[in-house]
Amino acid sequence: MVKTVVISLDSVYYIRDQKPILSDINWEVKKGEHWCLLGLNGSGKTTLLNLICGYFWPSKGTISVLGHQYGRVDLRELRKQIGWVSSSLIERIHGTETAEKVVLSGKFASIGIYDSYTKEDLSEAKELMHFLGCAHLVNRSYQTLSQGEKQRIMIARALMSKPNLLILDEPCIGLDLFAREQVLRTIEQIASQPEAPTLIYVTHHIEEILPCFTHTFFLKKGRSFQQGETKQLFQSPILSDFFNLPVKVEEKHDRYFLSFDQKGPGFAQTLLKSITK
Ligand SMILES: Nc1ncnc2c1ncn2[C@@H]1O[C@H](COP(=O)(O)OP(=O)(O)OP(=O)(O)O)[C@@H](O)[C@H]1O
Ligand SMILES: [Mg+2]
């Protein structure tokens, strides 16, 4: 059976002020796969997500998402099928809004609620908050929530429109170990649902890569470094090459952990070289 293509990027370039931010990106995400997008600061991850959601336009190349080629589709309609959780969105939410209203606003893909909602919408929001373990926060004002609680509310908000594609741009940023694991458990639960959306998870941190992320895309300085099955790629030589630094990858309980395979007085110098390389 041929698998449906969810995202397809063909020779995509994104150039700003004559500087290529993304170059020659080819990427295909199929239904049933969940991808992790991994890259250091400034490698172009958020830019790539903005292209996928149609907020940025490629300088060259073609993009298709959920079977629609950009340029031939109403992006506002298509975006209703895409959930996006990012820290920039978290900051834009009106702080005085209740957690429940923030979740409800996901139905309209808006910041704040300007349309009328139904009883069904309200019970859907409550159900999602229950699923995400934050039902007790319904009447709390958003600004009084902790970072981890905000993240879970934002994931519930993104699920409100029943997206076919769910993009999570560093959802565990700023979370302590336990809050991070709670968010990760939730993501695992979402992935295990029969009608789960395709997940794209962006991170710098290898230990956040859950077993449900069948595939990984390594982005390095705006170019595709490697992409494929996570299990095949998480090898010390591949990651050492990716980071320009000898690192050791270890697998434990289906998760990956990274350590530096070097120490001593020359190490600081090596680190600096790998960043500037
Ligand atoms: N409008 C712009 N004009 C010029 N340069 C830009 C513009 N937007 C982004 N960049 C640059 O493009 C590069 C990629 O940025 P992007 O935000 O996509 O990286 P990222 O991988 O998401 O990084 P981080 O992990 O820090 O979030 C950075 O060097 C950034 O400074
Ligand atoms: Mg980013």
Residue 204 Cα, ligand 1 centroid: separation in angstroms?
Answer: 14
In sequence order, what DSSP letters do the residues of 104-126 get, joined into one string? HHGGGTSSS--S---HHHHHHHH
pLDDT at 265: 59
pLDDT at 272: 64
Q: Measuring from atom 28 of ligand 1, which residue has the nearest CA?
A: 42
Residue 44 Cα, ligand 2 centroid: separation in angstroms?
Answer: 7
pLDDT at 49: 94
Domain limits, the chain = 234-277
Taking a C-beta distance cutoff of 8 angstroms, is the pair 159, 128 a contact?
yes
What is the position in ligand 1's atom list of the atom closest to the CA of 50?
Answer: 18
Residue 262 Cα, ligand 1 centroid: separation in angstroms?
Answer: 30
pLDDT at 65: 94
pLDDT at 117: 80
pTM over 0.85: yes
- Determine the residue of 15, 22, 45 to mutate for testing ligand 1's pocket, defined as the one with the most ligand atoms within 8 A of the Cβ atom: 45
Q: Measuring from atom 17 of ligand 1, which residue has the nearest CA?
A: 46
Q: pLDDT in tens for each of the 277 residues of the chain?
A: 566 999 999 999 999 999 999 999 999 999 999 999 999 999 999 999 999 988 899 999 999 999 888 888 888 888 889 998 887 766 677 778 899 999 998 887 666 666 678 899 999 999 999 988 899 999 999 999 988 888 889 999 999 989 999 999 998 988 888 889 988 999 999 999 988 999 999 998 999 999 999 999 999 999 999 999 999 999 999 999 999 888 999 999 889 999 987 665 566 666 666 655 5
pLDDT at 190: 93
pLDDT at 93: 76
Rg (CA), the chain: 19
Residue 144 Cα, ligand 1 centroid: separation in angstroms?
Answer: 30
Helix ranges (DSSP H) in the chain? 45-52, 75-79, 87-92, 99-105, 119-131, 147-159, 177-191, 230-233, 236-243, 267-276
